[in-house]
Structure 1
Amino acid sequence: MVVNLPRCLAIATLLLLPGFAAADVLHIPQQVSSPISVPERGRTMQQVEARFGTPQARHPQVGGGHPQRPPITRWDYSEFSVVFERDRVINTVRRDGQTAPTRGQESLEISSETLPAAD
């Protein structure tokens, strides 16, 4: 029986080296209050109008007539627009084009790091 010594040493070396794994690390900064007050997700049209007043524009409803295409309506205010599904808020968009979060300004930072593998 012939043993290939260099090959055996190479395999043994690879098996004894510590393993490494690549992972993404998610950094979530603390929440900061939104600079403008916006309607919260889930509020009704009546609640939005009672709190923020009459919108500057009410766009015609789109969709509807099918369970998979519910009616969507948009109201425009001076600093933001509110999007409703049926009569409930589903999103608020600020005039500068950013989505206005309903519970504070959130941002995420994702970076890749190489971490030692768990034993």
Structure 2
Amino acid sequence: MFKHRTNLPLLAAIVVGAGLVAAQAAHAQETLTQRVQDEKSMHLPARGLSMAQVEKAYGEPLRKLSPRGGDSSRHPTINRWEYSNFIVYFENTHVIHSVLNTPAGNNRNPAAVN
């Protein structure tokens, strides 16, 4: 007769690993939720503002990153301006999105993004 043997150390490692993954996922969700709340409470450049309006209201950015895209109408030119606390994304010359420049957003080095 065949006896079933349980490998308890392996089973325990799987259970602990699954618990760690669940805890990391919960932390990531909490971090994302906090980031969204932080962005809402800050006065970030609003969608639709022109580059000139952003520069007038927020001053000269720390860096104007190299434009991306622009090779077709389906891929418009995207410009990124970096300020000390946030990054502004422009489609052609108008704001499409502004995000906090935080580790939670993985925006520590936006110039490295290809």
TM-score range, shorter chain: 0.5 to 0.7
Change (3 A) 1:66 1:32: closer
Distance 2:43 2:94 in 1: 17
Cα pair 2:39 2:100 within 8 Å, conserved:
no
Name which structure has the greater RCO, CA cutoff 8 Å, separation 6+. 1
Q: What per-residue deviation string (whole Å, max 9, x for no partner) do you get for residues 42-75 of structure 1? A: 0000000000000001001111031001000000
Distance 2:82 2:39 in 1: 22
Instruction: Note the C-alpha offset of 1:35.
Output: 3.0
Please give the TM-score of this superposition, normalised by the length of structure 2.
0.54
Task: Please name the residue that 1:42 is paired with.
Answer: 48
Instruction: Note the C-alpha offset of 1:37.
Output: 1.2
Structure with greater strand percent: 1
Residue 88 (structure 2) pairs with residue 82 (structure 1): yes
Distance 1:48 1:57 in 2: 14
Distance 1:37 1:97 in 2: 19
The RMSD of aligned alpha carbons is 2.2
Instruction: Note the C-alpha offset of 1:33.
Output: 8.4
- Pick the structure with greater CA Rg: 1
List runs of 5+ in structure 2 lacking aligned partners: 1-36, 106-114
Q: Which amino acid aligns with 2:70?
A: G
Q: What per-residue deviation string (whole Å, max 9, x for no partner) do you get for residues 61-94 of structure 1? A: 1110310010000000011000000001001110
1:63-78 residue pairs with structure 2 within 5 A?
A: 63-78=69-84
List runs of 5+ in structure 1 lacking aligned partners: 1-30, 100-119
Structure with greater helix percent: 2
Cα pair 2:67 2:77 within 8 Å, conserved:
yes
Task: Please name the residue that 2:22 is paired with.
Answer: none
